[in-house]
Structure 1
Amino acid sequence: MTKGKVLVLGSNATRVEVQGGYADIGQYLNETVVPVMALIAAGYEIVLATPDGGKPTIDPVSDSPMHFGDDVAAHERARAFYESDPSMNAVLSLGAVIEQGLDQFAGLFVPGGHAPVVDLMQDADAGAILRHFHRASKPTALLCHGPIALIAAMAQAPAFRAALIAGDEAGARKLAGDWPYTGYRMTIFSASEEAFVEEHVFKAKMHFEMPQALGIAGGSVIVTPVDFAPHVVTDRELITGQNPGSDHGVAKALIEALGRANA
Structure 2
Amino acid sequence: MGCCNSTATADGAYEPSPFTKFAAVKQTTDYKESVVSKKHSGNYKVLVVCTDEGRFEMANGKVFSSGNHPTEVYLPLLHFKAAGFSFEFATASGGPVALEMWAFPTKDRHVSALHEELKPLLASPTALASVDPALKGYAGIFLPGGHGAMVNLPSCGALGNLLRAAHELSLPTIALCHGPAALLAGREGGEFPYKGYKAVSFSDKTDKFTPSIGYIPGPLPWLQQEALRKEGMLVANESEKGEIVVDRELVTGDSPLAANGIGLRAAPMLVEAADSAANSM
SS of 1:121 mapped into structure 2:
helix
Aligned equivalents of 2:178, 2:139: Cα separation in 1: 23
Aligned equivalents of 2:130, 2:207: Cα separation in 1: 34
SS of 1:98 mapped into structure 2:
coil
Aligned identity (percent) is 30
Task: Give 1:53's aligned residue.
Answer: 94
How far does residue 58 in structure 1 lie from its aligned partner after superposition?
1.2
Q: 2:141 aligns with which of 92, 101, 108?
A: 108
C-alpha RMSD of matched pairs (Å): 2.0
One-letter identity of the residue aligned with 2:261: G
Aligned equivalents of 2:209, 2:72: Cα separation in 1: 18
Q: 1:250 aligns with which of 238, 259, 262?
A: 262
How far does residue 196 in structure 1 lie from its aligned partner after superposition?
4.0
How far does residue 92 in structure 1 lie from its aligned partner after superposition?
1.3
Gaps of at least 5 residues in structure 1 are 66-71, 158-177
SS of 1:258 mapped into structure 2:
helix
Which entry has the higher C-alpha Rg, 1 or 2? 2
Relative distance call for 1:88 and 1:14 in structure 2 (3 A) is: closer
Question: Does residue 17 in structure 1 map to residue 57 in structure 2?
Answer: yes
Question: Does residue 96 in structure 1 map to residue 147 in structure 2?
Answer: no
One-letter identity of the residue aligned with 1:32: V
TM-score, with normalisation over the residues of structure 2?
0.76
Aligned equivalents of 1:43, 1:64: Cα separation in 2: 24
TM-score, with normalisation over the residues of structure 1?
0.81
**Size of the alignment, in residue pairs?**
232
Aligned equivalents of 2:43, 2:126: Cα separation in 1: 21
Task: Give 2:222's aligned residue.
Answer: 208
Question: Does residue 153 in structure 1 map to residue 186 in structure 2?
Answer: yes
How far does residue 89 in structure 1 lie from its aligned partner after superposition?
4.6
Aligned equivalents of 1:214, 1:48: Cα separation in 2: 24
Q: 1:184 aligns with which of 162, 185, 197?
A: 197
Task: Give 2:78's aligned residue.
Answer: 37
Task: Give 1:166's aligned residue.
Answer: none
Contact 2:157 2:189 in 1 (8 A): no
How far does residue 114 in structure 1 lie from its aligned partner after superposition?
0.7
Gaps of at least 5 residues in structure 2 are 1-40, 277-281
